[in-house]
Structure formats: C-alpha cells, structure tokens
Homo-oligomer: A and B are copies of this chain.
Amino acid sequence: MSASIRARKPIGVFDSGLGGLSIIREVRKILPRESIAYFGDLAHLPYGIKSTEQIRQFSLQNADFLVRLGVKLLVVACNSSSSAAFKWLQRRVPVPVVDVIQPVVREAAKVTRTGRIAVIGTSATIESGAYPRALLELNRRFQITVQPCPLFVPLVEEGWRHDRIAESVVKKYLIPVKNKRPDVLILGCTHYPLLKPMIRKVLGPGIRLLDAVKPATEEIKSTLIRLGLQTGQRGDGKMHIYLSDRPRNFIRVGEQFLGEKLTHVHQVHLS
C-alpha cells in the first residue's frame, strides 16, 4: 500500500470503556482531518481489577479488531492495558502503537522540580508498577508515591463528582499522598480528570495535576508526522465508535468525555 493511501486510514483507539473518548476529543481538536475508529470493550470492563494475562488477552482482541478495520496507528487509551500490555502488543501488532503512560511520564519528568512524583490509578495499574518503572527509567533519583483509588471510577460514573461524598473519598485517598509532598500528581486513569476540581480543592495549589490527554495526543501527532502518516484529505475526519456491549447509561458518561454527541455507534461482538 502506498504511503498516501495508508495515510488516509483512520487512527484506531481502544479502551475498556468510554474514558478514552477524552483523548479523541483532543485529537479532533488538534488533528481535525484525521478519521478515528474507537473501540470500547464494554462487555469486559473494567480492566482495572483483572489480571495481567486477562488484560493482555482482551487488549489483543481489541487491537486485532481495529487492525482488521485497517487503522494506520493504534492508540491504547486504557491505563490498565497500557501498563499490562503496551510493549507486549507492540510485538504483536503490524502498526505503530502509542500508549497513555509513556507520554505523560515524560511530561512529568520534564515539569517536576523536586523529583517527588505521585501517581494514582486503578488497582491493576498501580499493582503493575508500570508508572514507577517508566519514571525511574528516565531518572533513577525520582521519589515516587503511588496510590490506587478504586472508588474514583464508580463515583464518576454515578455522576457524584462535586458532592460531600466525593470530597470524603478524595480526602481519604489523597491526604496521605499530599503528606509525601509531591510537586506533580499523575492522574493515571482516563476517568480521573473529571474529578480534577475536587482533587485540586483537596490538594491545594502546590501540586501540578497531569493527565494523559494532551501528552498522548502530542505523541500521536508526532508519530504520524515522523512516519509520514498524516492524512492529506480535506475536510473533517470521520469518527466511528464500536462497542462490545450495549452502552446503557454509558452514553451520558461518554458524552462528558467526548464533549460532543455520540453518533455512528456500532455494537460488535468479538469472541
């Protein structure tokens, strides 16, 4: 296939749920001509409580689906997948792969002044040790604090982002983190940016909050440019959303992430 034909193909993005749409939102802002195929594995979500082997198997299924659709680049928008399966997938997929951990980790390394970096995420992401590993590869002297926050996702999905319960939960998880005096906190889960106002309120102004959205989108853009894969087409790119289960109330959550109406939604059955 010639490079220009390949360049017209969509960018493939997968996540266990709809949180990865927050990356699509940014991609559509800075790369509006690119078409996108998004796969949300609602049938198997959440990944964050499952084993590495299981997450790899689901991730490969998702990747295969998108590769068969003909994507030119694969984005692993799920933190649990990125920690359990990113390098493993790179060896199994015939297109370049971008994850959500490496880009934000490089950003954290760039902006920290004290070298004290905190990371929050699901149990699977934290237990995998992927963030500390990636951070320490960049600088062995970083002091890293990690904290799993398993109640954050259900809080966001329930829509309780601003009330007293959210505040209590955020305090319970993050006051011990604050006491370690980090100057950067990585929000290692696609749902957590929706809790930013509450996290800021609890942590105060001295800690910089970083999430994967902007760094990952920059990584997507620079990878496309480096490989000559930017689309040459005019007009806005298309977006198709594939889900492995009926979305129930996830549409509401998904539209919060995407910042626009969810259209072109297809239900597919993978296994």
Whole-angstrom distance between the Cβ of A164 and the nearest chain B Cβ = 6
Residue A44 at the chain B interface, CB threshold 8 Å? yes
Q: How far is the CA of A123 from the CA of B249 in the complex (A)?
A: 9
Residue A168 at the chain B interface, CB threshold 8 Å? yes
> Of B44, B154, B271, which contacts A151 at CB under 8 A?
B154
Q: How far is the CA of A186 from the CA of B49 in the complex (A)?
A: 28
Residue A157 at the chain B interface, CB threshold 8 Å? yes
> Of B53, B123, B150, B245, which contacts A50 at CB under 8 A?
B245
Residue A51 at the chain B interface, CB threshold 8 Å? yes
Residue A246 at the chain B interface, CB threshold 8 Å? yes
Which residues from chain B contact A246 at a C-beta distance below 8 Å? 51, 53-54
Whole-angstrom distance between the Cβ of A92 and the nearest chain B Cβ = 19
> Of B49, B53, B151, B248, which contacts A155 at CB under 8 A?
B151
Listed by A's residue number, 20 A-B pairs whose Cβ atoms lie within 8 Å are: A42-B50, A43-B50, A43-B54, A44-B44, A45-B49, A49-B248, A51-B245, A51-B246, A51-B248, A54-B245, A54-B246, A123-B248, A127-B248, A150-B154, A150-B158, A151-B155, A151-B158, A154-B154, A164-B168, A165-B169
**A residues lining the B interface (CB < 8 Å):** 42-45, 49-51, 53-54, 123-124, 127, 150-151, 154-155, 157-158, 160, 164-165, 168-169, 172, 245-246, 248-249, 271
